[in-house]
Amino acid sequence: MSSVVTTSGVPLNSISIPVISAVPIQSGDQIYYGQTAIGTVASTNLITNVLTMTVGTLAPVTINAVLGTEPDQSGIPSQQAQTLVTSGAVPKFSVDIPVVNVGTTSRGQTVYFNNNILGTVFNVDSANSTIGIDTSITTAIPSGGVLQVSSSDWTTVTLLKFNIGNTNYFLSDAYTPLTVGGDVYTALGDFLNISEFVEDYKATEGTVSIEISGIPAKTRFIDIIQNEKFKGASVRVYKAFMMSNTLRDVQEYRLRFQGIISNYNIEENTDLLKGESTNTLLLTGTSLYTSFSRYIGGQKTNQADRQRYVPTDSTFNNVVALEGIPEFG
């Protein structure tokens, strides 16, 4: 644990702490006064030697006080944004957590207690200094309990792009429409399921199964599916990364699969008790390597057969003339 020394007194709930030297301090470090955690460093100014805290200090500090500093070792998978302190005991199975100060906590951030995930912030009530969690907590928290709130939680979504004729279709398993690379992806949520596939670093055949469910059993929808030329349509699967607290800001995305649709079928799902019927469209995507291997399979090493595939290729033009010439060696 490192330490710094204050150059003046710091009142309760202060955002700034002046110190003799801020050199060893980094964003995310915990600051202790004695045995008490008084906050988390948001940023440091090495010119003015001032620490800026994520929320107001949780205790007053005297001049020339020695403050202990400790790097974030909570095991949280993303950078720690701030520390919250409960203002009262929180019973097990609660969904609302009273805190001394909500700080900059926002919806979508993850809350931790004793290195365990409590849940995701669903609501922030600044007036009553309370944060609401999306699920009931599974452990009781004492008054004065220290909570960690992550700053940059990432979540992933799967993006599906396929082309049929002159029409491009953009779908995702997100629950809100996303704009990625200028294309707007329709949110299907749980109605879109894509199988796992192995990312191999050698040329191997690969397939992916795509399931689009919840299609209404209406004649026009079925006609569209049956009349479209799904076989041979190009398909791409991307993995996109976005901030969970914004739910819309896609930071980056990566191509995970590229190929063509090699097969498809429709399954009807009927609930007689509810009198409802929906359909599920099942697509099989085949990698470009598979298609390529089928395309070139069985070629003969002569001019006519080669130029059926590549008319300008003259590689085998002289094969006939070489017939009968003894092999070298």
pLDDT recorded at residue 75: 35
Q: DSSP E strands: which ranges in 8-127? A: 16-18, 30-33, 36-45, 50-53, 66-70, 80-85, 96-98, 110-113, 116-125
Range of the domain at 103: 80-152
Same domain flag for 176 and 283? yes
pLDDT tens for 219-266 read: 566 676 677 777 888 888 888 877 655 555 666 777 888 888 888 888
Same domain flag for 9 and 60? yes
Same domain flag for 164 and 285? yes
Residue 198 exposed, middle or buried by CB count within 10 Å (0-12, 13-18, 19+): exposed
pLDDT tens for 105-146 read: 877 777 888 877 788 787 889 889 999 987 788 889 999 998
**Does some domain include residue 15?**
yes
Element (H, E) at 225: helix 219-227
- What is the residue whose two structure tokens read 């070298």? 328
Q: Report which of 95, 93, 74 is spatially closest to residue 140, judged by C-alpha positions.
A: 93
Number of domains in the chain: 3
The DSSP 8-state label assigned to residue 95 in this structure reads S
Q: How far is CA 31 from CA 10, 46, 61, in A?
A: 13, 17, 11
C-beta of residue 212 within 8 angstroms of C-beta of residue 284: no
pLDDT recorded at residue 87: 94
Same domain flag for 181 and 265? yes
pTM of the predicted model, to two decimals?
0.46
**Does some domain include residue 89?**
yes
pLDDT tens for 53-95 read: 876 787 889 999 998 887 644 333 333 457 889 999 999 889 9
Q: Show the tokens assigned to 85.
A: 């302190």
The CATH number assigned to the domain holding 40 equals 2.40.30
Same domain flag for 21 and 87? no
